[in-house]
């Protein structure tokens, strides 16, 4: 079996510190072969920097996926240029957008394809259709001897995520939802062998609203006035991830398991 750990959106410094504290022991305990994490909130909750990407790679993450917040820091171009093999962006952005949307990664004697998609429902931007785009990519790799295909679907709507999961059932090894920071409980293997969960949750501050200081968000709801968001960077950390076992001969998932840990930092 190929053993993969997928960590949900890593939010800010507290999220990075939580990963650094949890990941080493978890890798040993589960004998994990490959670690993927969503990095769009890596640098103080919005975007990435060279320093934060290097920090999380050094902590033991092998590949970073992302989403709509990848572009929130000015030096995103430099990050993508310096770490071209370590970070991908949603593949259904227009082709002129910097970076790549998928990566073929070697794991022992096998290769896996990791693919990043972004949803369209409730997003203000007009992305290409994720359903049709993933079909294009799968057609491109249909003759490749792959041991597994992992999809990070970065989307708002649970219905859109659920529909894509069923659409790709039997075509990919796993469809893992990210973006909303709240873990769902629908971990399962679909009828044709694809592991699925609507949202992995986040690695970040436990006592927060999606990673942001709770007082700020409460004030926004009470006053309906714009607020300057500040990421919670003190207190307990929450670590949400998905553990997968994939049969490289069939590319089907044999196990999907929720990982949830809280740590004091």
Cα angle value 129/134/136 (rounded, 5°): 100
Q: Are 8 and 202 in contact (CB under 8 A)?
A: yes
Q: 159, 165 in Cβ contact below 8 A?
A: no
Candidates 44, 69, 154, 179; catalytic one: 69
Selection from 54, 42, 49, 47 nearest residue 13 by Cα: 42
Structure tokens at 60: 């033991």
238 touches 200 (CB < 8 A):
no
Q: d(Cα 220, Cα 226) in Å, to the nearest integer?
A: 7
Q: In the numeric block, which tokens belong to residue 169?
A: 């059932």
Task: Respond yes or no: is residue 69 known to be catalytic.
Answer: yes
Burial of 30 (0-12, 13-18, 19+ CB in 10 A): middle
Q: What are the structure tokens assigned to 200, written together? A: 């992995």
Q: Which of 111, 170, 120 is nearest to 145 (CA)?
A: 111
Strand ranges (DSSP E) for the chain? 2-7, 9-10, 34-38, 63-65, 102-107, 110-118, 148-154, 174-178, 188-189, 195-197, 202-205, 236-246, 253-264
Which positions are catalytic? 69
């Amino acid at each position: 079996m190929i053993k993969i750990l997928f960590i949900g959106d890593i939010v800010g410094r507290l999220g990075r510190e939580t990963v650094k504290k949890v990941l080493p022991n978890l890798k040993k305990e589960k004998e994990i072969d490959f670690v993927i994490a969503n990095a769009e909130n890596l640098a103080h909750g919005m975007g990435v920097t060279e320093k934060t990407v290097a920090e999380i790679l050094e902590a033991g993450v092998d590949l970073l996926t992302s989403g709509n917040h990848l572009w929130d820091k000015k030096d995103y171009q430099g990050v993508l240029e310096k770490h071209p093999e370590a970070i991908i962006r949603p593949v259904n952005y227009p082709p002129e957008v910097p970076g790549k949307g998928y990566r073929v990664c070697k794991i022992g004697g096998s290769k896996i394809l990791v693919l990043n998609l972004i949803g369209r429902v409730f997003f203000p931007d007009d992305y290409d259709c994720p359903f049709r785009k993933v079909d294009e990519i799968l057609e491109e790799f249909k003759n490749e001897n792959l041991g597994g295909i992992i999809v990070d679907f970065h989307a708002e709507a649970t219905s859109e995520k659920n529909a894509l999961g069923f659409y790709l059932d039997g075509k990919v090894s796993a469809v893992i939802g990210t973006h909303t920071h709240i873990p769902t409980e629908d971990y399962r293997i679909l009828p044709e062998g694809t592991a699925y969960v609507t949202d992995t949750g986040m690695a970040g501050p436990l006592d927060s609203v999606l990673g942001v200081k709770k007082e700020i968000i409460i004030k926004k709801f009470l006053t309906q006035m714009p607020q300057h968001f500040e990421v919670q960077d003190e207190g307990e950390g929450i670590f949400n991830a998905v553990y997968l076992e994939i049969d490289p001969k069939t590319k089907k998932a044999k196990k999907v398991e929720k990982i949830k840990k809280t740590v004091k930092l």
